Structure 1
């Protein structure tokens, strides 16, 4: 079955519920900002953005009328200050909006804003998107359950996301993976197994190669590779468990092949257990924060009833855990999945203690 048939053609955007807004307020994610997504849609025209090989990037660089440009530039500089600093305006004279790009590919249709410090030419990006409950849950779960912290803001119907640096997965697989040493490929294989497990546990779907990045870090005499998700649009939406397992997308075939060539089954099983244990520890340490997020999710509408029924029964047949069968919403399926991982970890730990 092709990836296009696996994934719904168009996922609807779900509004931010009162419970989710309450959560965002409690944990300082809901901050007043001076510009909305719809404001950026007032562009007067655009030009295609090409990469260094003169290929279409599927982004267009937008421009605004003189009257709109001044207001939008100032507002975006203020957003940068709120996102990356304490919101003070005294840094604004030292900032320049170098580019505003718009992507019509995919569900989120984001704006990508390039902000440059004119004193030293350092620059960074952030994204302006239409707020969608699925994406917000995905970002917050990534912040809590992955090794990485995420910085984002939500105000009314607008979402501001920080840029996640790294080599796009599709580019890495094509241009970098073939040049890696055997040791590096083994390490990448290990990370892909862990990434695959983490996505499945927290129900993050559609991790095709262009929806994650590879982050290389130099450590003493070698390079360590990590894999980070960058698209959270398909959090807890699809009705098939296969969508939440990156290994089944054809775009990731080379990564799966690397796992098969470099790792034995015992190692793969070991890395899966390691990742489940790490996620379980994060669930436990997150305490009231993950509890509050799941309370919002289990009463929220973030998928269709049909998808919920399909997924809960598929996971129930796999685990025989009645909590899945009793779930009525996709948020409850997510809560059951995280509870299942946590309980298994705690039971194994208790058994180990008793055996000592």
Structure 2
């Protein structure tokens, strides 16, 4: 079976553009390839050269120290984008199985989109490391092109009567939304860092903790992926396997995480509970209010994660129960079929 981007069914009728280029599904998919090829072509040389891995302006001993505005949101949106693109690839492969010939346009643009999404977050990480936000112009152009191409495809689907009953319509709509949100995150970086279209860009200095060679707890400063998986601790764990560790190797905590800092923060919140007469409110309510004011966000996140972990703890037993139930049901059906055959 020969390979063809648009397939070779019906004597290559898929290449017919008499009704307009944008009304041809294959050429519409080809249009979505352009942004991904642009990003891969521009960023791969920069990443291979390693320009963004180190900067002469950064004189600190850690590799990651700066987060642009919307850092966590960008990572979360990228993870969701990768998942939706995988669904699009699977949908294209399944759809291609119903055709007489191979239609590469059903899944090849999605594969390039997957590569481009991974490249975008790696490229962004290197830009953060080097603190050179002007290179984000490449990502800005990419998000614009990707958003426009997916928007055209989405509205063409609507125009031709492809609705929510077809999976590709929903996937295209979600991708259009995600590319739009990532474009908004990029514009937010421009407005807050002022690295483009502004005479005086915002200067950001590295945190004092990272300029202290004794601080080795990098959890607050690494990217979201490393923070979630504790990837930054690999070097420390590897060293601990080779030889016993001591307090000198562990190093100091960042200023924001030391006991004195937290005590002062809690004391300030507690003193804020004083009445106009100078007396403190009594009872647990006063303590909980002070804790909420001092550590409200970390407490909320920890409680939320604790509930999620407890709920996900039921996932394993429920999956095993479903598998066992399916196997028992399948075995019973086979047994009944055998009985019917013997009786016949």
TM-score interval w.r.t. the shorter chain? Answer: under 0.3
Larger Rg, first or second structure (1 or 2)? 2
- TM-score normalized by the length of structure 2: 0.26
- TM-score normalized by the length of structure 1: 0.25
Greater relative contact order: 1 or 2 (C-alpha under 8 angstroms, separation 6 or more)?
Answer: 2
